Amino acid sequence: MERIEQAKADICSLLCGEVSTTIKGNRLLVSLPLERRDGDMVTLFVEPLTAGWRISDAATTLMRLSYENDLSKLLSGARAKLFYSLLSESGLSEDDGEIFCDVPGDQLAGGLFKLAQGIVRVEDLGLWTRSRTESTFYDDLREKLISMVPDGRLIENYVVPNVEQAENYVVDYMVETGGRPLFIFGVNGRDKARLATITLQHIQQFEDNFDSLVVFSQLKDIPQGDMQRLMVAANDIVPDLSETAGMKKKLQHRMVS
């Protein structure tokens, strides 16, 4: 119990005012200033080990994903590979639904944020189950692109070469411009905005010889934070699919031959 009390004091001294801590038995609950997809703050659970600490999510991340998804399908095939890859990249482990990391006694604060960032990434797995054709927006986008791009130069669901796990980071459309390829993403809501941002950021780790264009159903419908992150990742945007002339001009501007 004394170690838990000391852990609480150490965390509060480092992040006073930003972190909420509560002791429950032999565990310390830590609420960090990081939001989950549903807007709740990330809460982690700290338990003492012989030579350090175990920090876990107490299986809450997969529980939250199960509200919107069938976990047996979400954690199978390509998505399962992505799940375990995300854990590995983040230095995390999983056991019976619990995501955790073990850290030395003097690395508690760093471990908290490592786990928090990792589970926020894992929660984005839920975005991969959403259909891209739930709205006529995607049908309309396809029709417009087909009418604007010369035959044979538009590829749908493009898998970028030389990108690790590229099959999990698919580009909606690729336009062969005669110069730098143009990657196009259609975005009709917050979830797709986040998915497009994740996809672009991953691809940019392996390949930067491309341009990107995001076509929104309506830009005003996207939360400010998600919009800003996506606009940093992308080169250009069309704020509304109805702006046909502007979209055509942006495409023609990039066509070399």
Domain boundary among 103, 128, 153: 128
Predicted confidence (pLDDT) at residue 175 exceeds the cutoff of 80? yes
User: Per the structure block, which two tokens stand in for 98?
Assistant: 């619990």
Residues 26 and 111 in one domain: yes
pLDDT at 77: 60
Residues 104 and 140 in one domain: no
Domain boundary among 77, 99, 128: 128
Going across the sheet that includes 171-175, the strands are 154-158, 171-175, 182-187, 211-216, 236-238
The residue segments making up the domain with residue 57 are 2-128
Total structural domains within the chain: 2
Residues 116 and 171 in one domain: no
Predicted confidence (pLDDT) at residue 129 exceeds the cutoff of 50? no
Q: Residue 141 in contact with residue 215, Cβ under 8 Å?
A: yes
Could you please report the per-residue DSSP string of 189-244? SHHHHHHHHHHHHHHHTT--S-EEEEEESBGGGS-HHHHHHHHHH-SEEESBTT-H
**Paired sense of beta strands 211-216 and 98-104, if any:** unpaired
pLDDT at 14: 61
Predicted confidence (pLDDT) at residue 238 exceeds the cutoff of 90? yes
Each residue's pLDDT tens digit, 70-119:
787 677 665 677 788 889 989 999 999 999 999 998 899 889 989 998 99
Residues 17 and 124 in one domain: yes
Q: pTM for the whole thing?
A: 0.49
pLDDT at 221: 79
Domain boundary among 66, 98, 128: 128
Residues 159 and 120 in one domain: no
pLDDT at 6: 74
Residues 111 and 54 in one domain: yes
Each residue's pLDDT tens digit, 205-232:
999 899 999 999 888 878 999 999 999 9
Predicted confidence (pLDDT) at residue 153 exceeds the cutoff of 50? yes
Q: What does DSSP assign to residue 166?
A: G
Residues 58 and 163 in one domain: no
pLDDT at 70: 73
Of the candidate ranges 2-6, 121-125, 187-191, the one whose mean pLDDT is the lowest? 2-6
Residues 39 and 105 in one domain: yes
Q: How many CB atoms lie within 10 A of CB 161?
A: 8
Strand ranges in the chain using DSSP code E only, listed in sequence order: 20-24, 27-35, 41-49, 52-56, 93-95, 98-104, 154-158, 171-175, 182-187, 211-216, 236-238
* Average of per-residue pLDDT across 16-21: 71
pLDDT at 27: 92
User: Per the structure block, which two tokens stand in for 145?
Assistant: 């692109």
Residues 76 and 163 in one domain: no
Residues 78 and 117 in one domain: yes
- With the C-alpha atoms ordered 66, 55, 88, 197, is the resulting torsion angle positive or negative? positive
CATH code assigned at 143: 3.40.1350
pLDDT at 61: 92
CATH code assigned at 102: 3.90.1150
Residues 197 and 89 in one domain: no
Report the C-alpha gap between 121 and 88 in whole angstroms. 12
pLDDT at 200: 95
Residues 7 and 124 in one domain: yes
pLDDT at 95: 94
- 47 Rama sector, left if φ>0, alpha if ψ -120 to 50, beta otherwise: beta
